[in-house]
Structure 1
Amino acid sequence: MNAFKRAGNATNVFARSWANFVIKYKWPVLLATLILAIGLGSQGNMEFDGDYHVFFSKSNPELEAFDALQDKYTKDDNVIIVLSPSNGNIFTKENLTAIEELTAESWNTPYSSRVDAVTNFQHTSAVGDDLYVDDLSYNSSLKTDAEILEIKEKALKEPLLVNRILNEKGSVTAINITVRLPGIDLNEIPGEVTPFVRNMISDFKEKYPNFEVYTSGLIPMNTAFFESSMNDMGLTMIMLIIVIITTFILTRNIWSTLATLIVVLLSIMSAIGFVGLMGIKLTPPSSVFPTMILTLAVADSIHILVTMLQKMRKDGLNKVDALKEAMRLNFMPVFITSLTTVIGFLTMNFGDVPPFWDLGNITAFGMGMAFLYSTTALPALMAILPVKSKVKKEETKVRKDWYASLGNYVIKQPVRLTIISVLVIGGLTFLATKNTFNDEFVNYFDETVAFRTDTDYIRDNLTGIYNIEYSIGSGESGGINNPEYLKGLNAFEDWLNEQPEVIHVNAFSEVARRVNRSMHGDNESYYRVPDNRDEAAQYLLLYELSLPFGLDLNNQINVDKSETRVTVTVDNITSADMIAFSKKGEDWLRHNTPEAMHAIGVSPTLMFSKLGFRQAESMLTGNIIALILISLVLMLALKNFKLGLLSIIPNVTPVLVGFGIWALYKAQINTGMVIVFGMTLGIIVDDTVHFMSKFLRARRELGYDAKQAVVYAFETVGKALVTTTIVLLAGFAVLSTSSFALNSYMARITVIIILAALIIDFILLPSLLILTSKKEVVTVKNIEATQVAFDK
């Protein structure tokens, strides 16, 4: 106990001395903090990176496999333009002419390397021994109705078109633009490709208003990521307004509102400087850091300001004395809250998603600076500003009675409330296990984003938006012409087409069958892979020589013709089903083909599908470390091992409750929600620290029994906890409106967790404190013992 008293007195002495120093040298302190913030802010250089690759670490095995596949063939960054004519028939002279024009213009897209459309599809035919490869439809405006009908019949029988470029009814078609980005400038997509495509589509719709146009593909997805980052940065302004209004309503003081606003702006400015100094490129997850810092920094300021104004209104202290007392009472609790929040956000570095590393590091730095400014700039400002407050004893008494009534209600039935709480928490914890991972990248965006709605339309009316790719090797140069290889590839294609999830398969075996048939006078009996290797090689050479520039087979065959690419388009399935399907394809190859043909499934779709599972596994260690560190901090801060362990309950159970309620709401969690445990663990400690510190003060210093101490804690800290909770709820509620699901879902469940934390700290925590304190002997301390840490 003597050690505790010495530590507590030392803390109070430091806090009191710090407050005296800041108030005495208020102008130099304020000037120094402004110089620091401006100096850091001047280094700010916020760049936005919308490339989906940023979601994967360099060591991510799925990314490595996908990049290796693209190195063998061609990179398939693409824009899919889907056209739906009002008459529901692609095959009219006018519509085919419009498609031809848009296809021709699409070649002008910056960095375009290939354009595939129904009109320029390379249709094969033979006359005698001669192979002819021509556009399926050219000069469409000159075609007769009979010729248009013939084109339609050919197109609807073509496996490489149907459910890929053309739907089965012939009412919707696509133009696929493949681009090869140099990857030198971050502006290649948002500044060059996307504006060109949008202008091209706008001009097309103006000329042909009978077409509805939809866009999807990896380029529009990257654009959506970029624009989501910019939009989420805009949420900061909304939150600033809410902070101003909320702070003013809760403090009823214009000067405290102004001081709070300055503190959070300095914190955000410093964080922006950190972004520039560290060379961080912002992404949708990390771009919300201003809202995060703003929300959490306000909580620091609110504790100090509410206490100061209470001392002025309730106790009649003058501004300087009230400010010193507020600093003394709140310095250590605010420090612990900031420290645990920093620990929570830093645990994001244990994950496998780099944008969340950035979010964690930026927010952790910002929170560290928020603590600094809350204990320097804030008191300096309040000492300078003409703050006045009238004593309102009657109103204070009414408010005190409300919290005291809640405390009295709890102390009358701690056993009952504990049992009810345990049952409710247990039930919701069980429900939490019913949540499933589902990281479909299209669902990262809500229906307000054009990429999402356009992609949903394409999925429903033309083709699937998810795919898996296999690079099937032959084991030798030129081996793709080996009849045994072709038969194995053909069998794999057939097996894939039999799977219920599969919408379309694009494999070289289809090209081999089609050319073989054409080389035998379009005899349908020859619609099979060649039986002779030399013939297969000759047919392939002849076919390739007939293909025009930009429409060759480089996207399907590697340079030495030892491997071919199989692209499987699948229906809208969950992440778990996507992973299972990919594994099923790998197993089929392993059991039915030679070792050289064994391959693993890769694609951005599969990468995102595995991202949530990989993030969860990697974050497990981080969450455990966060729990241990934060628990140790609380044990040291409370100077009580038992209460330190007890504090784990109100800090962990809100997360379990939150995910249990989420199971009733969505029952699916994404990558963004995996970080919630570590992040909120640091945030919700605020409630526990302040309530327990008040409880301990009443027990150790005032000689109260456990029930009296609980009521005392409600009376003294209840308003501050409700106030900070309202601010936190407001901040994350704003973030929950983000159109980017990784951010909005994370914010929504955080809102639930923060609200659950307050309820648990008002119901379960005091009940447990009473039940675990029954046998403790309480001794009354002298007046000097009131100078301890967390005295509030």
Structure 2
Amino acid sequence: MKNIKKNHSDKNTFAKKWATFVIKYKWPVVILSILLAMGLGSQGNMQFDGDYHVFFSESNPELEAFDALQDTYTKDDNIVLVLAPKNGDVFTKENLIAIEELTAEAWNTPYSSRVDAVTNFQHTSAVGDDLYVDDLSYDSASKTASDIKEIRQKALKEPLLVHRLINEKGSVTAINITVRLPGKDSALEIPEVTAATREMVTNFQEKHPNFDVYTTGLVPLNTAFFEYSEKGFALVGIMVLVVLLLTLLLTRNFFAMLSTLLVFMFSFMAAFGFIGLMGIKLTPPSSVFPTMILTLAVADSIHILITYLQKVRKEGYDKQDAIIESIRLNFMPVFITSLTTVIGFLTMNFGDVPPFWDLGNIVAFGMTMAFLFSTTFLPAFMAILPLWKRKKGTQEAAVQKISIYAQFGNWVIKQPIRLTVISLVIIAGLTYLSTLNQFNDEFVEYFDTSVKFRQDSDFINENLTGFYNVEFSVGSGESGGINDPAYLTKLNQFEDWLNEQPEVVHTNAFSEVARRVNRSMHGDNDAFYRIPDTREEAAQYLLLYELSLPFGLDLNNQINVDKSETRVTATLKNNSSPEMIAFSERAENWLKNNAPEAMHSIGVSPTLMFSKLGFRQADSMFNGNIVALILISLILMIALRNIKLGLLSIIPNVTPVIVGFGLWWLYKGTINTGMVIVFGMTLGIIVDDTVHFMSKFLRARRELNYSAKEAVIYAFETVGKALVTTTIVLVAGFSILSTSPFALNSYMARITLIIILAALIIDFILLPSLLILLSKKEQNSIQ
């Protein structure tokens, strides 16, 4: 191979002047960098928001429909306490006393508006024309064995209880606490409710150790989101340590590690200040921004540092010349990488999930600052620090190690056609597999099985009732119309249809109340367990029933103010997102095909909103990804000064993502909302590999007049180690993030790992093969 001279042609004059200026004024640059980072960092204000509503934009149609339903009835944020007595029988005197005590205590939960339990279930009976509505089991301490047996029989026959507050065996029961959060500050309100609930459960279990207690509901869901936003930061310390150790190991230079740490710290402080200035509240997805900035900022620094160390160790440059040459060679690739990374993260704003908007904007700003610090502070700081030269034996070992990349390059250039064909065949196969992935946004599965919320929710789903539901607000078309027998009959038919569906565990509809009260008003004769015959009769029975209900257990959660609409809730087994959406559409179509227009309704619920979220995110992100790809391709064409190579770069920039999702199908087969952003997020990382390899290839062709094959080997020798090093650092960083118990983050990290590795392999095998083949056809195109 040709010898490389120190006095290169005067290319990249801007980068040389930039480096010369930074080194000349190294002390002011370092001081200004510190002041800038500290100034921005002082504006930081880190708050967390655990409310599940943050996952939905204000224009989200499902959220609008759900908010409209809650405005019509009552807001139903809730805590579900599931009690499993160790003797396997809820209906013993001791257990009923305990349940009654906990039910009474549950009313003291902050912001509680309603408490439903087996013991306070409003059981109806009549004597003559008088309707009596009483707690199913009040003053349980005075009950006899026969009383308790009767209570058991009534409970296990009650459709409004079984599969909702009691299981068929009577071995597990639930207390549902409805809370009306003021909504002023969820960061204060949710922890307040959670703390009170946990204290209540702890006290209960201390007094009644014969019960196992499981907790789920929307408030515990919010709590889990809130707590795992904070716990995401716990991973940062581990990541910093691992990344720094790897940097030290791979560069074998303490000062390189120190300067890399400072670049990250300054970038993090800047991003922290950005959060405060923009008033952003962190959520589980956005709380991982330090991880992103750490791994990506380190990648920028490593390219500059490794080239600098190579110039000193291998080619004998002095410190200042080595820094200038490193900046000259890497300024353009690092700038392009930073720019494309920023573009990729900004594409998250095209999506429909606000926490990912925040993540994209925070990381985009952090990466902008990382570029600034790595091209100013880093060279200035290295110019100040002493240079540790290694002994001759160590230098020879380094040369030997670098030659490994040259050997690999020699292997590639001998068989470009074969490697291209094999690569494209494998990519084609994985492209097909990538299309087989399915969306599945079951929000309970956002948390892995090590999380208590997930464990409790799984137990409740298996032993009592489903956690997922779909709700319908079914109108009558007129004030007071819910008492019309025609409306009630059709509502009853809808209830029956819902109960016949394989997904449905329980249905709660006003038609059941109407039937039950009608039966009670006729001496509890089962022949009258049907809709009342006349509107007047139905209205009279409803009035009597409502007047008999105690405070806090009224029908406001089922009937709107003017009695023109009622709420139907179908509780479902845990279903995948497509199954949940399909069920909702079937129910909506049943109403359209079998009920008058006034009764037509769309299904809403948080579970359904999350089910649709991934699909909406994918549709929204598609345009953003196309825009990003076009912009990045144009940037590369301009930077590389070659249209054909700019177009060629699309292949190694797109295929790693396709390969990643193909391999993901083999691993998991399902995609959640967090993974939809991966294309935009990894685009900058992928471009990093491509642009550094192609820039070194072009330098060899343009400045050193190398042939295509010699240029490929030169690229491997000069940038191979940096690419492998940055890949190892990125893999280490995302490997730690992949251990997060929050699946949106862990799945995103795992597929990013796959894509990063795929990008390196493609840029080491397919890209050089394509460059050689293109150069054979276009001998003079790269001049």
Whole-angstrom distance in 1 between the partners of 2:738 and 2:402:
33
Q: Secondary structure at the match of 1:269?
A: helix
Q: CA RMSD in A?
A: 1.3
Task: Say whether the 8 Å CA contact 1:11–1:332 is kept in structure 2.
Answer: no
Pairing of 1:379-390 with structure 2 (within 5 A): 379-390=379-390
Which piece of structure 1 moves more, 22-31 or 581-590?
22-31
Tell me what 1:176 maps to: 176
Tell me what 1:711 maps to: 713
Whole-angstrom distance in 2 between the partners of 1:585 and 1:184:
35
Tell me what 1:282 maps to: 282
Whole-angstrom distance in 2 between the partners of 1:339 and 1:439:
32
Tell me what 2:631 maps to: 629
Q: Which of 461, 464, 471 is the matching residue for 1:462?
A: 464
Tell me what 1:194 maps to: 194
Whole-angstrom distance in 1 between the partners of 2:202 and 2:10:
70
Tell me what 1:559 maps to: 561
Kindly state the Cα deviation for residue 780 of structure 1 after the two structures are TM-superposed: 12
Q: Secondary structure at the match of 1:584?
A: helix
Pairing of 1:272-421 with structure 2 (within 5 A): 272-390=272-390, 392-421=394-423
Task: Say whether the 8 Å CA contact 2:469–2:569 is kept in structure 1.
Answer: yes
Kindly state the Cα deviation for residue 779 of structure 1 after the two structures are TM-superposed: 11
Tell me what 2:111 maps to: 111
Which piece of structure 1 moves more, 482-491 or 393-402?
393-402
Q: Secondary structure at the match of 2:474?
A: strand
Tell me what 2:691 maps to: 689
Tell me what 1:598 maps to: 600
Whole-angstrom distance in 2 between the partners of 1:192 and 1:646:
57
Tell me what 1:581 maps to: 583
Query: Which residues of structure 2 form unaligned runs of 5+?
Result: 1-7
Kindly state the Cα deviation for residue 319 of structure 1 after the two structures are TM-superposed: 1.8
Q: Which of 660, 663, 676 is the matching residue for 1:661?
A: 663
Tell me what 1:739 maps to: 741
Query: Which residues of structure 1 form unaligned runs of 5+?
Result: 1-7, 782-792
Task: Say whether the 8 Å CA contact 1:705–1:778 is kept in structure 2.
Answer: no
Specify whether residues 202 and 10 from structure 1 end up closer, same or farther in structure 2 by C-alpha distance, changes over 3 A only.
farther
Amino acid at match of 2:382: M
Task: Say whether the 8 Å CA contact 1:247–1:257 is kept in structure 2.
Answer: yes
Whole-angstrom distance in 2 between the partners of 1:451 and 1:715:
51
Whole-angstrom distance in 1 between the partners of 2:754 and 2:184:
42
Tell me what 2:93 maps to: 93
Amino acid at match of 1:220: P
Residue 236 (structure 2) pairs with residue 236 (structure 1):
yes
Whole-angstrom distance in 1 between the partners of 2:313 and 2:253:
12
Task: Say whether the 8 Å CA contact 1:189–1:219 is kept in structure 2.
Answer: no
Amino acid at match of 1:350: F
Amino acid at match of 2:420: T
Amino acid at match of 1:477: S
Pairing of 1:201-280 with structure 2 (within 5 A): 201-280=201-280
Whole-angstrom distance in 2 between the partners of 1:634 and 1:576:
39
Tell me what 2:680 maps to: 678
Tell me what 1:772 maps to: 774
Task: Say whether the 8 Å CA contact 1:81–1:214 is kept in structure 2.
Answer: yes
Kindly state the Cα deviation for residue 399 of structure 1 after the two structures are TM-superposed: 1.4
Task: Say whether the 8 Å CA contact 1:483–1:530 is kept in structure 2.
Answer: yes
Which piece of structure 1 moves more, 11-20 or 427-436?
11-20
Whole-angstrom distance in 2 between the partners of 1:127 and 1:11:
100
Specify whether residues 780 and 200 from structure 1 end up closer, same or farther in structure 2 by C-alpha distance, changes over 3 A only.
closer
Kindly state the Cα deviation for residue 700 of structure 1 after the two structures are TM-superposed: 2.1
Residue 136 (structure 2) pairs with residue 136 (structure 1):
yes
Whole-angstrom distance in 2 between the partners of 1:463 and 1:597:
27
The count of corresponding residues between Structure 1 and Structure 2 is: 774
Deviations, residues 388-425 of structure 1 (Å, cap 9, x unaligned) = 12254411321132111111111111111111101111
Whole-angstrom distance in 2 between the partners of 1:563 and 1:81:
30
Q: Secondary structure at the match of 1:402?
A: helix
Whole-angstrom distance in 1 between the partners of 2:556 and 2:580:
27
Kindly state the Cα deviation for residue 272 of structure 1 after the two structures are TM-superposed: 0.5
Tell me what 1:787 maps to: none
Q: Secondary structure at the match of 1:123?
A: strand
Tell me what 2:501 maps to: 499
Deviations, residues 581-637 of structure 1 (Å, cap 9, x unaligned) = 101111111111111111111000110011000000010100000100111111111
Whole-angstrom distance in 2 between the partners of 1:144 and 1:489:
39
Kindly state the Cα deviation for residue 776 of structure 1 after the two structures are TM-superposed: 3.2
Tell me what 1:185 maps to: 185
Tell me what 2:27 maps to: 27
Report the TM-score, using the length of structure 2 for normalisation: 0.98
Kindly state the Cα deviation for residue 772 of structure 1 after the two structures are TM-superposed: 1.0
Whole-angstrom distance in 1 between the partners of 2:301 and 2:703:
27
Whole-angstrom distance in 2 between the partners of 1:191 and 1:680:
35
Amino acid at match of 1:475: G
Whole-angstrom distance in 1 between the partners of 2:502 and 2:325:
70
Whole-angstrom distance in 1 between the partners of 2:281 and 2:347:
20
Task: Say whether the 8 Å CA contact 1:703–1:780 is kept in structure 2.
Answer: no
Kindly state the Cα deviation for residue 436 of structure 1 after the two structures are TM-superposed: 0.3
Tell me what 1:785 maps to: none
Q: Which of 537, 543, 548 is the matching residue for 1:535?
A: 537
Amino acid at match of 1:269: M
Deviations, residues 329-387 of structure 1 (Å, cap 9, x unaligned) = 11111111100000000000000000000000000000000000001111121112223
Tell me what 1:148 maps to: 148
Amino acid at match of 1:349: N
Whole-angstrom distance in 1 between the partners of 2:458 and 2:263:
44
Tell me what 2:4 maps to: none
Task: Say whether the 8 Å CA contact 2:642–2:782 is kept in structure 1.
Answer: no
Q: Secondary structure at the match of 2:583?
A: helix
Task: Say whether the 8 Å CA contact 1:248–1:254 is kept in structure 2.
Answer: yes
Amino acid at match of 1:451: F
Q: Secondary structure at the match of 2:229?
A: helix
Tell me what 2:127 maps to: 127
Residue 641 (structure 2) pairs with residue 619 (structure 1):
no
Whole-angstrom distance in 2 between the partners of 1:267 and 1:544:
62
Tell me what 1:4 maps to: none
Tell me what 1:160 maps to: 160
Kindly state the Cα deviation for residue 778 of structure 1 after the two structures are TM-superposed: 5.3
Amino acid at match of 1:493: E
Report the TM-score, using the length of structure 1 for normalisation: 0.96
Deviations, residues 236-284 of structure 1 (Å, cap 9, x unaligned) = 1111101210110011111111111011000000001000101111111
Task: Say whether the 8 Å CA contact 1:701–1:780 is kept in structure 2.
Answer: no
Q: Secondary structure at the match of 1:381?
A: helix
Deviations, residues 648-688 of structure 1 (Å, cap 9, x unaligned) = 10110000000000000110001110111111112110111
Task: Say whether the 8 Å CA contact 2:417–2:773 is kept in structure 1.
Answer: yes
Whole-angstrom distance in 2 between the partners of 1:778 and 1:552:
84
Tell me what 1:784 maps to: none
Specify whether residues 10 and 227 from structure 1 end up closer, same or farther in structure 2 by C-alpha distance, changes over 3 A only.
farther
Whole-angstrom distance in 2 between the partners of 1:53 and 1:191:
16
Specify whether residues 556 and 387 from structure 1 end up closer, same or farther in structure 2 by C-alpha distance, changes over 3 A only.
same
Tell me what 1:786 maps to: none
Deviations, residues 737-778 of structure 1 (Å, cap 9, x unaligned) = 111111110110000000000000011111111111113335
Whole-angstrom distance in 2 between the partners of 1:217 and 1:598:
28
Q: Secondary structure at the match of 1:138?
A: coil
Q: Secondary structure at the match of 2:233?
A: helix
Amino acid at match of 2:14: F
| 4+ long deviations beyond 6 Å | 8-11
Amino acid at match of 2:244: I
Task: Say whether the 8 Å CA contact 2:775–2:781 is kept in structure 1.
Answer: no
Kindly state the Cα deviation for residue 512 of structure 1 after the two structures are TM-superposed: 0.3
Tell me what 1:12 maps to: 12
Specify whether residues 312 and 505 from structure 1 end up closer, same or farther in structure 2 by C-alpha distance, changes over 3 A only.
same
Task: Say whether the 8 Å CA contact 1:181–1:188 is kept in structure 2.
Answer: no
Amino acid at match of 1:51: D
Q: Secondary structure at the match of 2:168?
A: coil
Kindly state the Cα deviation for residue 328 of structure 1 after the two structures are TM-superposed: 1.5
Whole-angstrom distance in 1 between the partners of 2:255 and 2:74:
61
Deviations, residues 81-101 of structure 1 (Å, cap 9, x unaligned) = 000000000000000000001
Amino acid at match of 1:758: L
